[in-house]
Amino acid sequence: MKIRQNDYDPATLFRKLPSPIARRAMAEIYNYSIEADGFYFVDHLVDASVAAVAPRCFLDEALRVSRSIEVTEP
């Protein structure tokens, strides 16, 4: 999925994402970046119930802005 940086507004996606910080442990649950060639997601294996929601948000958003998507692992 290619993202045109000038045309894409991630505000809706940001509102849907769960907090990436485990407050009690002050640990990062997941991290992400939005690049011109798509979304990048990293699960830090801190809280599976939260980390499971975030990729779905990214997939839903990718399908919202593109007719097809490709999920890969580096």
The pLDDT tens digits of the residues spanning 18-33 come to: 999 998 888 999 999 9
pLDDT for 5 equals 53
Domain residue limits, the chain: 11-65
What whole-number percentage of the chain has pLDDT above 90?
A: 51
Give the alpha-carbon dihedral of 40, 61, 70, 66, to 10 degrees: -130
pTM for this prediction? 0.77
* Span 56-63, average pLDDT: 92
Give the mean model confidence (pLDDT) for residues 39-43: 93
